[in-house]
Structure 1
Amino acid sequence: MNNKKIVVIFPGANYSADCPLLYYAGFKFETRGYEKISISYGDFTNKHNSFAELIEEVKLAVLLKLKAVDLSQYEDIVFVSKSIGTAIAGWIEEKLCIKVRHIYLTPLNETLPYINKDKNIIIVIAGTKDKFLDADTLKEHCTKENIYLKLVEGVGHRLEVKGDMNKNIELLKDLVSTY
C-alpha cells in the first residue's frame, strides 16, 4: 500500500457538505493528507412519496458514484455522514464490501443496523432533542453495541444552539475535535 487515504462526506437531505459540521470534517481530514469526496444528492429530496423510497434511490445513485472510484487503492477510508447520509454510508460500506471507519452525525432509525460492534465506528454524535431518533433509543443501542456516543445536551438534529452564535462556535470546535 502507498498510504493513500480518503474521506467521503455523506450530507443530510437539508445539510450539505458545505455546512459547518461536514465542511470542517472534510477540512480536518484534508489537512491530515486525505483526499476528499463530497457526495451530493441533487434533486432526489424533492420527488418522492415516502422517505423509504427516497433512501433507496439515493443509495443506488451514491453506489454508482462510488463504484467509479477505486476505493481498494486506499489504506484508510473514512466516511463522515449526517442524518440520511448515515443510513447511506452504512449501506455503502456493506454493498462495496470495504473496510471503513465511520463518524456518524445525527443518525436515523434506518442507520441503527449499521451501528454495531463489528464495524469500525470512530464516534456517533447526536443531540438530546433530536426529533428523528430518540436520544434514549440511540444511547441504549450504542451501549449494547459498545459504540462511543457523544450526546449533546439540549440540541436537536442540526446540532446547533438556536440563536447563540458563540455557543455554536464552541460546540462546533468541540465536535470537530472528536473526529
Structure 2
Amino acid sequence: MSDKKIVVIFPGGNYSADCPLLYYAGFKFEVRGYEKVAISYGNLINKGNSVVECIEEIKMTVLLKLQSIDFSQYDDIVFVSKSVGTVIAGWIEENLCIKARHIYLTPIKETLPYIKNGKNIIAVVAGTKDKLLDTNILKEHCIKENIYLKLIEGAGHRLEVRGDINKNIELLKEIVSTY
C-alpha cells in the first residue's frame, strides 16, 4: 500500500492559491503524489475588518473546512502558506492536533509564535523589502528557533522585485526549488 500524502495551500489575503508561488507549490506536490487541498477565504478578507478580526474569522471558517478531513490517514501532511495564511496554518496544526511540515512564505508578525523549534518547518521564505514584517525581527527569530530562513534580496511581500519580469521568473524558480 502506498503512502497517503496531502498538501494544504493557505493563501494570503490578496494572494490566492492560483498565484504563482502557491500554484507551483500545489503542482509540485501533486506531481509527487500528494492530494491537494487549496483553501479559499471567499470574501472574508475584504470586509473592512481589522487584520486581527479577519484572522479570527478565517480561522473558524478554515477549521470547519478542514475538520472534515481525517488527517490521521495521511503519512505526510504539508502546509504551504503565504502571509495571513501562515498564521492560519500554524493555528490549524495546533487546533487539529496534527503534525504538519510547513513552508511559510512571507509570514506576518502574528505567525512568529508558530515558527518555533520542534515544529517541522521545511523553510521560511521572505523578501528583504517586505513591509509587513521587519526582516531583522524575522531573522533573529529564526536564528533563535533554529529554523531555515531563505531571504530574497530586494523582494517585497509578494516575493517579487518591482518591474523586473526576468528577475521574478528567476525568483519563482529559486523559491519553488525549496519546496
User: Structure 2 length as normaliser, TM-score?
Assistant: 0.98
Q: Secondary structure at the match of 1:46?
A: coil
Q: How does 1:1-179 map to 2 (within 5 A)?
A: 2-179=2-179
Equivalent pairs, count: 179
SS in 1 for 2:45: helix
Letter in 2 for 1:110: E
Supply the AA of the counterpart residue of 2:168: N
Q: Please state whether the residue corresponding to 2:33 is helix, strand or coil.
A: coil
Q: How far apart are 1:48 and its partner, in Å? A: 4.0
CA deviations on 1:26-56 (whole Å, 9 max, x unpaired) are 0000000000000000010111431111100
Structure 1: how far apart are the matches of 2:156 and 2:49? Answer: 25
Tell me how far apart the structure 1 counterparts of residues 170 and 48 of structure 2 sit (CA, whole Å).
37
Cα shift readout 1:90-146 (whole Å, capped 9, x = no counterpart):
000000000000000000000000000010000000000101000000000000000
Percentage identity across aligned positions?
76
Counterpart of 2:58, as a letter, is V
> C-alpha separation between the residues in 2 aligned to 1:155 and 1:172?
11
Task: Give CA-to-partner distance per residue, 1:42-84, whole Å, 9 cap, x none.
Answer: 0101114311111000000000000011111100000000000
Distance in 1 separating the partners of 2:162 and 2:28: 25
Per the TM alignment, residue 2 of structure 1 is displaced from its structure 2 partner at its CA by 4.7
Segments of structure 1 that go 5 or more residues without pairing to the other structure are none
1-side partners of 2:169 and 2:69: how far apart? Answer: 34
Q: Alignment partner of 2:155: what SS?
A: coil
Contact 1:9 1:39 in 2 (8 A): yes
Amino acid at match of 1:128: T
Q: Aligned letter for 2:118? A: D
- RMSD over aligned Cα, in angstroms? 0.9
Provide the C-alpha distance between the structure 2 equivalents of 1:2 and 1:93, rounded to a whole number of angstroms. 24
Q: Post-superposition, which runs of at least 4 consecutive aligned residues in structure 1 deviate over 4 A? A: none
5+ residue gaps in structure 2?
Answer: none
